């Protein structure tokens, strides 16, 4: 079977037409907050942007990462922490909500109606707990184990 570029384009367009935006809409809030934070990082010369971004940059890397050009070198790490926080805190509600919306297509009795709020409430704490364990493990690795390993390897 010969596949052409037009076949790939047709398959892409069909997938986009069949995509159900409402099911993934909870993730748009997380995306918007990430984009907003990234936009604020481009305005660090303004006091209002500095007031919102500086505490996050200081918490993740110390005061040395607040100044140009070190700030932009450290920006991927800052954004990783912002993303982790967004997926842990608002994500503990938004991710189960998105899963409930996905389940609504296959079995409405399981996902929508009076039981949906209970299912969502029951999923919030385990999702938050799992996300915080992941964030805590990364934080512990960066703060505790990396300096020890670097010292053992003689790179510190």
Report pLDDT digits (tens) over 49-99. Answer: 888 888 888 887 777 777 788 888 888 888 888 888 888 888 888 888 888
pLDDT at residue 110 in the model:
63
DSSP string, the chain: ----HHHHHHHHHHHHHH--HHHHHHHHHHHHHHHHHHHHHTTTTSHHHHHHHHHHHHHHH-GGGGSTTHHHHHHHHHHHHHHHHHHHTTHHHHHHHHHHHHHHHH-HHHHSSHHHHHHHHHHHHHHHHHHHHHHHHHHHIIIIIHHHHHHHHT--
Model confidence pLDDT, tens digit, residues 8-18? 888 889 888 88
Give pLDDT tens digits for 99-150. 877 777 777 666 566 677 777 788 888 888 988 898 888 888 777 776 777 7
* pLDDT, the chain, mean: 82
Per-residue pLDDT at 19: 79
């Amino acid at each position: 079977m010969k596949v052409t570029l037009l076949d790939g384009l047709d398959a892409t367009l069909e997938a986009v037409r069949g995509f159900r935006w409402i099911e993934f809409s909870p993730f748009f809030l997380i995306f918007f907050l990430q984009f907003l934070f990234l936009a604020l990082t481009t305005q660090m010369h303004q006091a209002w942007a500095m007031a919102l971004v500086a505490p996050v940059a200081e918490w993740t890397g110390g005061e040395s990462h607040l100044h140009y050009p070190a700030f932009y070198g450290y920006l991927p790490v800052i954004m990783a922490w912002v993303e982790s926080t967004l997926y842990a805190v608002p994500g503990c509600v938004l991710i189960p909500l998105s899963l409930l919306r996905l389940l609504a297509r296959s079995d409405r009795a399981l996902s929508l109606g009076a039981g949906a709020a209970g299912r969502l409430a029951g999923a919030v704490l385990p999702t938050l707990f799992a996300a915080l364990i992941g964030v805590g493990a990364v934080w512990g690795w960066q703060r505790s184990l990396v300096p020890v390993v670097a010292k053992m390897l003689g790179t510190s």
